[in-house]
Amino acid sequence: MTDTKFDIVVYGATGFTGRLVAEYLHNTYGNGGAVRWAMAGRNQAKLESVRDQMELPADTPLVVASVDDQASMQALVDSTKLVLTTVGPYQLYGSELVGLCAKSGTDYVDLCGESVWMRHMIDAYEDDAKASGARIVFSCGFDSIPSDLGIYYLQKHAKEKFGQTCNKINGRVRGMQGTFSGGTAASLQASLKAAKTDPEIFKLAIDHFALVPGFDGVNQPSGESVHYSEELKSWVAPFIMAAINTRNIHRSNALLGHFYGKDFTYDEMMLTGDGDKGQAIAEHIAGDRTMAGPDAPKPGEGPSKEERDAGFYDIMYIGETANGDKMVASVQGDRDPGYGSTSKMISESAICLVHDSPETKGGIWTTAPAMGERLISRLEKNAGLSFTIEN
């Protein structure tokens, strides 16, 4: 789309994460200059109230649209080059918006971690997106940018150094401080509920290649068992984000023409330290069901600015080629993963897609094949992420 009023419309701007996105866009890019953006939500009065609470300029554009009013959603989609949505769970509130964007040629980014819904969207709308030129990019937050781009970054360097990519990579979270978002918890709970009632949904949910229709890769490590790593001198525990990150990485591999290899394997877990203490932490993590229960963070809630600023994450990726050559890369973020860093990542993804990626064709994408090095550069320059080859 070329003749639009805005570059980006933030749908869900009155929610907790949506506010952080609006704040980031205002503080980093202003409005009306290089990036024309607007806040969107269901209620004019609430949009005005939130804008004023955040002390944004009174002329910050506001767009009223609701999933209950298709005409208003179509008007939103037609007004902008890209819709950035933070309104989840997406399986409950996102399908119509994806469909409208795909059919209208409007780009789209979200924070989705719901692999089964994503597969349903691929099946339903990828042909429409290819025909219209809409670039639909899911999972533009902590799930799954650090892992998706971290693997891509490692593989590019492995290819340059060894002449081949790594056919085996282990992702290991070395450190993390901060809470997961209420939206992530709500999405997990909605996904579990759906899987319990529909065998086909359950089958897709446990399929590592759920986002690669028609492809059955080699057996993948489960990433579910607590064990001790002699190489890393640490106990290793399951990582809750692995269920979505692994799926997105396999889709990236396929969209990149299986650049990582058709025999590529990947798992993602957490390091908890050495000794009895490390084992106890690992076993506690493995048995923790907080995110699926009533004590999980709620949508619309979130940590204070001080807590967000004190957060961080550090993930290492240990790659090995078929010849036994090894390479280690890492991705680090300077804010809590679920809110502070995620709001910056999705904002930069939106800008990168609109302004830096004209050659990316219509379709349903992941971040690595859609934006690759351009997004890595933006995230390092503006969003507090660092990508490093450690050996």
Distance in angstroms (rounded) separating the CA atoms of residues 316 and 333:
12
Q: Is residue 357 part of a domain?
A: yes
Return the bridge partners of 105, or none: none
The answer on 208 and 157 residing in a single domain is yes
pLDDT bin (cut points 50, 70, 90) of residue 185 is: confident
Rounded (10°) angle between helices 367-382 and 342-351: 110
Q: Is residue 332 part of a domain?
A: yes
Give the DSSP per-residue string, 137-194.
Answer: E---BTTBHHHHHHHHHHHHHHHHHHSS--SEEEEEEEEEESPPPHHHHHHHHHHHHH
The answer on 137 and 39 residing in a single domain is yes
pLDDT bin (cut points 50, 70, 90) of residue 180 is: low
Domain coverage including residue 255: 145-336+375-389
pLDDT at 198: 80
Q: Is residue 109 part of a domain?
A: yes
CB 321 within 8 A of CB 165: yes
The answer on 305 and 229 residing in a single domain is yes
Q: Is residue 203 part of a domain?
A: yes
Mean pLDDT of 179-192: 74
The answer on 355 and 321 residing in a single domain is no
The answer on 251 and 279 residing in a single domain is yes
Q: What is the pLDDT of residues 166-176, one digit of tens each?
A: 999 999 999 99
In this structure, the dihedral spanned by the alpha carbons of residues 53, 97, 339 and 135, taken in order and rounded to 10 degrees, is -120
Mean pLDDT of 65-72: 94
The burial of 200, by beta-carbon neighbours within 10 Å (0-12 exposed, 13-18 middle, 19 or more buried), is given as exposed
The answer on 270 and 253 residing in a single domain is yes
Q: What is the pLDDT of residues 264-323, one digit of tens each?
A: 999 999 999 999 999 999 999 999 887 767 777 777 778 889 999 999 999 999 999 999
Q: What is the pLDDT of residues 72-94, one digit of tens each?
A: 999 999 999 999 999 989 999 99
> Which CATH number is 42's domain given?
3.40.50.720
For residue 164, pLDDT over 60 is answered with yes
Q: Is residue 85 part of a domain?
A: yes
Selection from 86, 93, 141 nearest residue 117 by Cα: 93
For residue 209, pLDDT over 70 is answered with yes
For residue 124, pLDDT over 80 is answered with yes
The answer on 269 and 255 residing in a single domain is yes
Selection from 69, 26, 54 nearest residue 8 by Cα: 26
Using a cut of 0.85, tell me whether the model's pTM lies above it. yes
pLDDT at 356: 98
In this structure, the dihedral spanned by the alpha carbons of residues 198, 88, 354 and 370, taken in order and rounded to 10 degrees, is -30
Overall size of the chain counted in residues: 391
For residue 1, pLDDT over 50 is answered with no
Mean pLDDT of 210-231: 95
Q: Is residue 1 part of a domain?
A: no
The answer on 365 and 284 residing in a single domain is no
Residue of higher predicted confidence among 201 and 376:
376
The answer on 68 and 153 residing in a single domain is no
The burial of 123, by beta-carbon neighbours within 10 Å (0-12 exposed, 13-18 middle, 19 or more buried), is given as exposed
Q: Are strands 62-64 and 37-41 parallel, antiparallel or unpaired?
A: parallel
Of 5-14, 191-200, 373-382, the one with minimum mean pLDDT is 191-200
Mean pLDDT of the chain: 94
Dig out the tokens for 212 from the structure: 């690669």
pLDDT at 4: 85
Q: Is residue 53 part of a domain?
A: yes
In the chain, the percentage of residues whose pLDDT exceeds 90 is 84
The SS3 assignment for 342 reads: helix
Mean pLDDT of 218-244: 95
pLDDT at 170: 98
Mean pLDDT of 359-377: 98
Selection from 352, 256, 351, 373 nearest residue 10 by Cα: 351
**Prior bond of 79 cis (ω within 30°):** no
pLDDT at 2: 52
Return the bridge partners of 9, or none: 38, 83
The answer on 362 and 262 residing in a single domain is no
Mean pLDDT of 99-107: 98
Q: For residue 224, what is the enclosing H or E element?
A: none
The answer on 32 and 95 residing in a single domain is yes
Give the DSSP per-residue string, 302-339.
Answer: ---HHHHHH-EEEEEEEEE-TTS-EEEEEEEESS-III
Q: Structural domain tally of the chain?
A: 2
The answer on 177 and 120 residing in a single domain is no
DSSP state of 296: S
